[in-house]
């Protein structure tokens, strides 16, 4: 992989971070209400508080400056890796995020493991079976998983496995079993995405000439799928890693609130509700940074797994480098 191509991808990542910061900044400032009044719990009634105290807080968070000046000050601070302090709690944004991140990472890790196992099993089962009704049934499961609302799935799991049959705790993060229901809730749409992409990729790989050649040589269907079709089918699924990460973050906001779990998703919901601008921007930048890193890692791994892309990223100019892995899908 050429340094020029890598530099191009890094530059695109920086642009993504800047766009995420800019959009979050202006969207939050365009929301109705006053962050300082929200923090003080005034219910929008400025006369309930000492005007001098309100002005002091606005000056502390640069809210008394014109909007372009506020934007430039916030951007310069972020470039210095200074994300400010939470308007609601007064704690540094980095500390607030760091305290909530481990719970969300644990939840996401368990959910991804469940999703990978379930999604791969559905795709392989639908590909291997010779019974049309079973293949059609398995192939329809991913669509159902995507269509089910996450909050509804969480509430149903709570109703069945916490209230009707008290197997798992309904709320909290204190015990290992407390992560099971939230992880399953989060894993259902993830496994559906994995199963959909992998099943289609396996169907395409199954009819490739090299696969049919191995089949004519006497390979069993299972061996043929695992050793020949699956390694190629994994490549398109790999490109979905960024989408899966976005799904994890979006789902965490819902799941952590349904199950009353402390985590990054619940922190984001609280920050948006309270118009905690520095905290929301810190969370948005963290999500954008991880998204960029995941996609960059995918770009670096892809040529290793698919030799067809090595030439495309070695000598091709940066502006002509393949995007979204067109070469792998050709």
Instruction: Name the E strands within the chain.
Output: none
Residue keyed to tokens 């905690």: 276
Say yes or no to pLDDT of 45 above 50: no
Ranges 17-26, 37-46, 313-322: which has the least confidence: 313-322
**Residue 74 shares a structural domain with residue 169:** no
- Check whether residue 158 and residue 252 sit in a common domain: yes
Separation between Cα atoms, residue 197 and residue 190, nearest integer Å? 11
Residue 283 maps to a domain: no
- Chain-centroid distance, C-alpha 276: 22
Rounded CA-CA distance 255/237 in Å is 24
Identify the weakest region by mean pLDDT among 163-172, 185-194, 259-268. Answer: 163-172
Q: How confident is the model at residue 315 (pLDDT cuts 50, 70, 90)?
A: very low
Question: Where does a domain end: 251, 273, 295?
Answer: 273
Q: Which of 273, 302, 322 is the last residue of a domain?
A: 273
Residue 104: half-sphere exposure toward Cβ, Cα within 13 Å = 26
Cα distance between residue 190 and residue 182, in whole Å: 13
For residues 174 and 260, is the Cβ–Cβ distance under 8 A? no
> pLDDT class for 235, splitting at 50, 70, 90?
confident
CA-CA distance, 275 to 289, in Å (whole number)?
22
Model confidence at 153: pLDDT above 80: yes
For the chain, give the mean pLDDT. Answer: 77
CATH number of the domain to which 203 belongs: 1.10.3720.10
Least confident of 13-17, 138-142, 147-151, 219-223: 219-223
> What Cα–Cα distance (Å) separates residue 123 from each residue in 196, 232, 298?
7, 14, 22
Least confident stretch, 239-243, 260-264, 276-280: 239-243
DSSP 228: I
**Both 123 and 261 in a single domain?**
yes
Q: List the domain range (segments joined by +) for residue 6.
A: 1-88+311-330
Q: Is the pTM of this model over 0.85?
A: no
> What is the domain count for the chain?
2
Query: Is position 302 within any domain?
Result: no
Residue 127 in domain = yes
The secondary element (H helix, E strand) that includes residue 138 is helix 132-147
Per the listing, tokens 């979204």 go with 324
Whether residues 131 and 108 share a domain: the answer is yes
Shared domain check, 183 and 76: no
Residues 6+ away with beta carbon under 8 Å from 11:
none
Same domain, 102 and 14: no
Do both 32 and 139 map to the same domain? no
Q: Are residues 125 and 201 in the same domain?
A: yes
Same domain assignment for residues 266 and 157: yes
316 and 247 in a single domain? The answer is no
């Amino acid at each position: 992989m050429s340094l020029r191509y890598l530099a191009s991808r890094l530059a695109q990542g920086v642009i993504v971070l800047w766009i995420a910061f800019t959009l979050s900044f202006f969207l939050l400032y365009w929301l109705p209400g006053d962050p300082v009044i929200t923090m003080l719990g005034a219910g929008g009634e400025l006369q309930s508080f000492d005007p001098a105290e309100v002005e002091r807080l606005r000056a502390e968070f640069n809210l008394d400056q014109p909007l372009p000046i506020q934007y430039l000050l916030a951007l310069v601070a972020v470039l210095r890796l200074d994300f400010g302090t939470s308007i609601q709690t007064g704690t540094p944004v980095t500390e607030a995020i760091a305290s909530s991140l481990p719970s969300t990472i644990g939840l996401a890790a368990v959910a991804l493991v469940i999703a990978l196992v379930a999604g791969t099993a559905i795709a392989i089962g639908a590909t291997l079976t010779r019974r049309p009704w079973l293949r059609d049934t398995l192939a329809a499961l991913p669509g159902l998983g995507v269509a089910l609302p996450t909050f509804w799935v969480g509430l149903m799991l709570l109703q069945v496995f916490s209230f009707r049959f008290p197997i798992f705790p309904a709320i909290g993060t204190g015990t290992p079993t407390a992560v099971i229901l939230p992880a399953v809730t989060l894993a259902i749409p993830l496994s559906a995405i994995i199963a959909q992409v992998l099943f289609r990729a396996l169907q395409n790989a199954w009819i490739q000439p090299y696969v049919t050649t191995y089949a004519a040589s006497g390979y069993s269907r299972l061996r043929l799928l695992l050793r020949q079709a699956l390694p190629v089918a994994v490549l398109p699924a790999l490109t979905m890693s960024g989408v899966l990460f976005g799904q994890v973050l979006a789902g965490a906001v819902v799941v952590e609130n349904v199950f009353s779990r402390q985590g990054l998703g619940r922190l984001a919901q609280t920050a948006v509700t309270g118009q905690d601008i520095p905290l929301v921007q810190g969370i948005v930048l963290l999500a954008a940074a991880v998204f960029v890193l995941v996609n960059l890692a995918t770009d670096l791994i892809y040529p290793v797994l698919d030799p067809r892309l090595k030439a495309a990223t070695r000598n091709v100019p940066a502006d002509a480098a393949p995007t979204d892995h067109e070469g792998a899908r050709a």
